[in-house]
Structures are given as C-alpha cells and as structure tokens.
Amino acid sequence: MEKHNNYKFKIWKRDDGIIMIKTWEKKWVEEDALRFKKELFDILDTIEGKAKILADATEAGFGPTVEARNIYADIIKSPKIGKAAIFGLKTPNRVIVSFLIRITGKEDLKVFLTEEEAVKWLKEDN
C-alpha cells in the first residue's frame, strides 16, 4: 500500500460496500484525528443509510492523545456508522478501543483478531 501526502491512514470503499480503513500511525494526535474524521465523513456522506466499517490496525502503534480519543469517540457515535469491526489491534490499543466502546455505548463495534472474522461478522444480518 502506498502512503500518500504524509497521511497516516487510507480510507476507501471496497467492492462489497464496506468502508475500509488502514492505518500505520504510531501515535495519533488531534490534527491527524481531525484529518481522519474529515476524510471518513467525506466518504460516509456518499452512502445512503448506515455504513459498515472495517478497520485494519495491524500496523498501528500505541494510542491516541486524549484530544484524538475524544474525536474518535465522536466519530463512533455518528448515526452514519452502523456495524464497525477492528482487527489487528495490539494489546494496549485493545484496552483503548474497549474504553471507547464503553463510553460511547456503541454495541455494534467489535474487535477481532483476523480480517476474516471481522468481515464475516459485518456481513451477518442484524
């Protein structure tokens, strides 16, 4: 995957309609989180209804700043986002994501070990 414009992520719509997010950032800060939010919502605005999100965190480093975490919490709460699955998180980030899930009350956000498990769950009807 080619990294472009010094972005620390890439977002695209897969052929099956799932929005794919790939990140290779080692430490998220507020500026990066705001750029991520804008790019994600630019794509979400083109979709009718709720989007399914698949996030690949296999190359992500440890943790966002407090400001970035707050931005992610706002993103997770968006009515434009339906089911969301994250795979490839390292242990410290699993703790942060679990915290975000609890504070946002988002019950259709789950963490998986593999992409295959995550996609299977996203494609289930419910």
Mean pLDDT for 98-118 is 85
Q: Which residue has the higher pLDDT, 76 or 20?
A: 20
Cα Rg of the chain, angstroms: 13
Q: What is the pLDDT of residue 126?
A: 57
Domains assigned to the chain:
9-123 (3.30.750.24)
How many whole angstroms separate alpha carbon 19 and alpha carbon 102?
Answer: 23
How many whole angstroms separate alpha carbon 50 and alpha carbon 106?
Answer: 14
Model pTM?
0.83
Q: What is the pLDDT of residues 110-122, one digit of tens each?
A: 889 899 999 999 9
Cβ contacts of residue 37 below 8 Å, gap of 6+? Answer: 71, 74, 75
Q: What is the pLDDT of residues 50-70, one digit of tens each?
A: 999 999 988 877 667 889 888
- Confidence band for 26, pLDDT divided at 50, 70 and 90: low
Mean pLDDT for 93-117 is 83
Q: What is the pLDDT of residue 29?
A: 84
